[in-house]
Amino acid sequence: MSQTVSVPIALPTLRALLDYQAEHASEQDFSDLVDRIFREWLARQHGPQGYLSKTVMLPDGSRLRITSLHRAHFATIVGGELIYEGVSMSPNQFARASLGTVRNAWEAILVQLPGECNWTPATRLRYSAEADARRKAYREAARTREEAMCTSRSEKC
């Protein structure tokens, strides 16, 4: 049995937790619910878990597929690693291991993100991520220019 401690909590927060537990007809013990909430919050503080390949973040649970003449080969993102047949490897190594030849992994791999039914070409995810990065950089540059103009004019913007 785990040791427990008392933690002060604001009354509105306590009421919201109790309401949540009642609304969801949770049979879970209240202390277990609070413990789960803390653990999930702590896990989120480490940032998104997944595999970063170039500009594309593949979240844990993503599935990768490469189809050869003979069969489909599947890999999964687990704990931030790409796992194929129990071995951690890069997308390029996955493409080589499943196809037996050197190929551009971005062109060979299809990705199924967690909670989705469709398979998306990895190239589409890559181009989308690159376009998002360009749009973000453009907006940031425009905002910086605008702030610089306001500062140089001594205007209040």
The string of pLDDT tens digits covering residues 44-88 is 677 667 888 778 889 989 999 999 888 999 999 988 899 999 999
Both 100 and 78 in one domain: the answer is yes
pLDDT of 35 reads 80
Domain span at 39:
11-45
The string of pLDDT tens digits covering residues 17-34 is 888 888 876 677 888 878
Contact assessment for residue 49 and residue 60, using Cβ atoms and an 8 Å cutoff? yes
- Compute the distance between CA of residue 98 and CA of residue 100 in angstroms, rounded to an integer: 6
Contacts with 27 (C-beta within 8 Å, 6 or more apart), sequence order? none
pLDDT of 157 reads 55
Exposed e or buried b per residue across 76-101, where buried means at least 16 C-beta atoms within 10 angstroms of its C-beta:
bbeeeebbbeeeebebbebbbebbee
Both 61 and 116 in one domain: the answer is yes
Total tally of structural domains belonging to the chain: 2
Calculate what percentage of the chain has a pLDDT beyond 90: 30
